Structure 1
Amino acid sequence: MALRLSLSSSPSLRSLPTNSPPSVGPNRKVDWPNRGRTCGSVSREASRTVAVRSSLEIAAPAVGSVTEVNKDTFWPIVETAGEKVVVLDMYTQWCGPCKVMAPRFQELSEKYLDVVFLKLDCNQENKSLAKELGIKVVPTFKILKDSKVVKEVTGAKFDDLVLAIETAKSS
């Protein structure tokens, strides 16, 4: 997901008067620090630069949590992880065993703070990435190191997943 900033095409910013702040409720006003200054328009190139920088900022997963990814964000996050172990939970919304594993996967992310934990909903939108990673059943857990899959656990096998993470970390 890339964040795009284009001040010239934003109707809310374009329609604001520059000499007074917008009203936010009865008898309340927002104090604008740069009141009276105009922003002008942002070029298409500047818009792309902001989009790239924002996507890199968004790509950094939080430590001790599980980050939802899609076909566009998965590989950039894996590459950013470098030598860290990355664990990907490939699931679907309708899968019962996936729902059972979700809170346990979250617990693992809080336990292994040096590991990156990701989730990928294998829906129609992400079908190409699921196919690229060779998914056949859900849940499937892919363990990656140096941007390569080093282990795989299929099914709701928590103990096998912990063992695979430990093995990947020690290698």
Structure 2
Amino acid sequence: MPCRPAVAAQLDLLRTRGANNLWVAGFPSSSSSSSRRDLLRLVPPVRCSVDVLAPTVGTVTEVDIDTFWPLVKGAGDKIVVLDMYTQWCGPCKIIAPRFKELSEKNLDVVFLKLDCNEKNKPLAKELGIKAVPTFKIFKGGEVVKEVRGAKFDDLVLAIETTKQS
């Protein structure tokens, strides 16, 4: 999970000032080092990642022009299935729950959704979308299969054949 800006700023502050110049939970830096260390043992560590996007399996992840390629590249050797849709598309709405079910059944595959709105239009154009819904299947960061239309059986077959290749 990415750090919030405030947390990232605090981490930077800790790195630049060093522990001797900070107040730790109400103890000024003049307090004994052992009392500060004892107090810090009670505080759970904060863990977060900065600028790391990792795809999630077992769910459908909504992507946009900024997050799509980092997630595809972050998937590594996993197969990535992208559902390109629009808010106004009837067939897109009908197949969406079935696409979600596929994500829950195929835990070795990453499922993404891209709303082909104005913001994401350049990415949709780059991916060569001609109709919605369109499903693109990626392996190793490259498109290997495409299914146009709300053809669920064709999508399942495309995923299965990609897994076997």
Q: For this structure pair, what is the TM-score category when the shorter chain's length is used for normalisation?
A: 0.7 to 0.9
The alignment partner of 2:113 has SS state of strand
How many angstroms apart in 2 are the aligned matches of 1:62 and 1:134? 25
User: For 1:99 and 1:35, how far apart are their aligned partners in 2?
Assistant: 54
Distance 2:99 2:143 in 1: 18
What letter matches 1:105 in structure 2? F
TM-score, length-scaled by structure 1: 0.71
Q: 1:153 corresponds to which letter in structure 2?
A: V
Task: Tell me if the contact between 2:81 and 2:136 (Cα under 8 Å) persists in the aligned partners.
Answer: yes
In the other structure, the counterpart of 1:34 is: 25
Once the two structures are TM-superposed, the CA of residue 54 in structure 1 deviates from its matched residue by 2.9
The percentage of counterpart residues that share the same residue type is 69
* Partner of residue 95 from structure 2, selected from 96, 101, 104: 101
Q: Which amino acid aligns with 1:5?
A: P
Taking the aligned partners of 1:88 and 1:151, their CA distance within structure 2 comes to: 11
SS in 2 for 1:150: strand
What does residue 86 of structure 1 align with? 80
Aligned to 2:119: 125
The one-letter amino acid paired with 2:130 is K
Matched, 1:55 2:46: no
Structure 1 segments, 4+ long, off by >4 Å, are: none
Find the aligned partners of 1:140 and 1:82 in 2 and give their Cα distance.
22
Deviation at 1:167, TM superposition (A): 0.8
Which structure has the larger Rg over C-alpha atoms? 2
* 1:125-144 Cα shifts (integer Å, max 9, x gaps): 00110000000100000000
Uncovered stretches (5+) of structure 2, i.e. residues with no partner = 10-23, 29-48
Aligned residues: 134
* 1:116 pairs with 2:107: no
Is 1:145 paired with 2:136? no
Write the deviation string for residues 136-165 of structure 1: whole angstroms up to 9, x where unpaired. 100000000000000000000000000000
**SS of equivalent residue, structure 1 residue 54:** coil
**Secondary structure at the counterpart of residue 146 of structure 2:** strand
Shift of 1:91: 0.3
RMSD of Structure 2 on Structure 1 (CA):
2.6
User: Residue 157 of structure 1 aligns with which residue?
Assistant: 151
Separation (CA, whole Å) in 2 of partners of 1:141 and 1:78: 14
1:4 CA displacement = 5.5
Question: What amino acid does structure 1 have at the position aligned with 2:164?
Answer: S
